[in-house]
Structure 1
């Protein structure tokens, strides 16, 4: 078995948990990032030749019961990483589900694709140990201590408070379209992972400063053109949208509970590329000397991607609820509202259609728009950050790969199998992901462009944190 497979195995356990519990993309991406950071921290500490930075201090790694610093002893890298992942998932999911239920008033809405699923629990993932008892004990102690050190830094319950003042009577302001109240409005206020504050450094510039208020934006020609495009291409039964555009719209959606959500789709792409590029295996030169550690590189890749994506979620939500600033935020209404109420926007170039609905749909067929402001697109921000991390890790953009989808509405081939899509670069996939939200009828193109802008920036900055440095070898390492 390739050394890096343990990372993929736990990534799959995490994705299964996401499908099971559901919920908001930001907090879910946080759990994935915590898990992969814990695995990376374990592996880079227990690999004597690792040139990569550690993001915890030795003094942070303590027994959660005794508060005593835990040393690695005879811990084994892959087993320690697995224990770290297990303890992160067990605790983080428990805290997240409990906090989400409280934020929802203990009432779970089965029609809301972004709320924790009815019946969601925090069942512990199973852990199969592949080492001796003595090594397993040291590995679990060290892995658990790493997990709890990260949980202490990044509380899974943070940012779930629903308290925020919205003005649904203000033209242009986001309002409930029937898919639930504003979701995780304070998510943009939580700390970025590993990066210094402020999040304010990552606000978008696609909408120019002279239009960053409702009156000027809604009356602008820019807004009128954007609205006309999504009205034409994103309508549920649009005859202008091509078959491929419909396929693209649904392929990238993955909004519904029961899927692994947008970050999960990008993790699956990461798995595909890691396998085809040989990241999981140890590499030797022509003389038989090791030149690459499959476990270390796989752990680093997934930690880089996971951290980039949780940071993308934070900067996207900062823009959604607090752009251009907290005192006068522009929380832009969804196209569904904008088109149905275009007679209120003050723009002579727009026309209202009270019956317009987006292509986006729940399993029942009922149309919906995600329950948070439009600008910027979360999908686009996630995708751009993912692409930036992948480019940084592999050192190039032009790697071809095939991507899959879990969206239940996805188009299928003659055998009933959901269609895949082929891409020639990470950038191509990210741009298509953002564009898909226009075809789905839930975003304007400037939402996608703004998300790509800030997602790329935060992804690049995050990737820099995992680059090689001169480092003191880790103590007490066993092969």
Structure 2
């Protein structure tokens, strides 16, 4: 996860792509801008402070990066430590249930400053509902973790994936179509109904950081990222 974070933050300051809070408010096109738009942000659990809105570039998503690294390590542990057959870029059958600390039936939205001398259940605030989530696979958790920040308004939908993972390679300058998955849907429409971001609105900034791949920059070698898919 540390290595993934190093790569992610290098890319963030390569592209320096603004967050929705800035982008939506400051879009120079009057028909698109909304100067009063406000994102939810990551909720302050068991505190009464303002929800966290990340003060660093949007693309790529750190939340998606850390989550993918953690779950992929778990997938590889099962792959190499048991008879589970898991390809590096396909779904698995490792299902699990999960209760978040955010929604555990105890955490709450406080209406007064947190008092360290009182148990959380004695703090004044609204108790959040306990929600148990069931995931059919670790792969599903990677996906949902990646897009979760869209709903909070702190990420764009393209922050959570690399173009080579979802676009069909083209030898011409035409717009590349999105890859079809086994069920016939495109990568950006899995359970979301989201539409692809127009090419002229997608992040661009590689010219500011040269053409060295992020993996090569981290390792000091000439290998491509595919050489390290199981590290």
TM-score (norm 2): 0.52
User: Which residue of 2 is the match for residue 240 of structure 1?
Assistant: none
Q: Deviations over 1:388-414 (max 9, x none)?
A: 22222212321111123223xx3749x
- Aligned partner of residue 446 in structure 1, secondary structure: helix
| Distance in 2 (alpha carbons) for counterparts of 1:372 and 1:341 | 17
Structure-2 change in CA distance of 1:371 and 1:450 (3 Å): farther
Q: Deviations over 1:345-373 (max 9, x none)?
A: xx465122324232433332524311211
User: Which residue of 1 is the match for residue 148 of structure 2?
Assistant: 436
User: Which residue of 1 is the match for residue 133 of structure 2?
Assistant: 421
The counterpart of 2:2, out of the listed 300, 303, 310, is: 310
Asked whether the 8 Å contact 2:39–2:152 carries over to 1, the reply is no
| Distance in 1 (alpha carbons) for counterparts of 2:146 and 2:227 | 18
Q: How many pairs were matched up?
A: 142
User: Which residue of 2 is the match for residue 191 of structure 1?
Assistant: none
1:376 aligns with 2:60: yes
Say which structure is richer in strand.
2
Structure-2 change in CA distance of 1:332 and 1:416 (3 Å): closer
Which protein shows a greater Rg? 1
Alignment of 1:20-419 (within 5 A): 309-322=1-14, 330-342=15-27, 344=28, 347=29, 350-362=32-44, 363-395=47-79, 396=86, 397-407=92-102, 410=103, 412=105, 418-419=130-131
- Aligned partner of residue 390 in structure 1, secondary structure: helix
Say which structure is richer in helix.
1
| Distance in 1 (alpha carbons) for counterparts of 2:70 and 2:8 | 14
1:461 aligns with 2:153: no
Asked whether the 8 Å contact 1:334–1:443 carries over to 2, the reply is yes
Structure-2 change in CA distance of 1:355 and 1:371 (3 Å): same
Structure-2 change in CA distance of 1:439 and 1:460 (3 Å): farther
| Distance in 1 (alpha carbons) for counterparts of 2:128 and 2:24 | 35
| Distance in 1 (alpha carbons) for counterparts of 2:142 and 2:152 | 16
Q: Deviations over 1:247-281 (max 9, x none)?
A: xxxxxxxxxxxxxxxxxxxxxxxxxxxxxxxxxxx
Unpaired runs of 5+ residues, structure 1, are: 1-308, 323-329, 465-479
Measured after TM superposition, the shift of residue 428 of structure 1 is 0.3
Structure-2 change in CA distance of 1:341 and 1:315 (3 Å): same
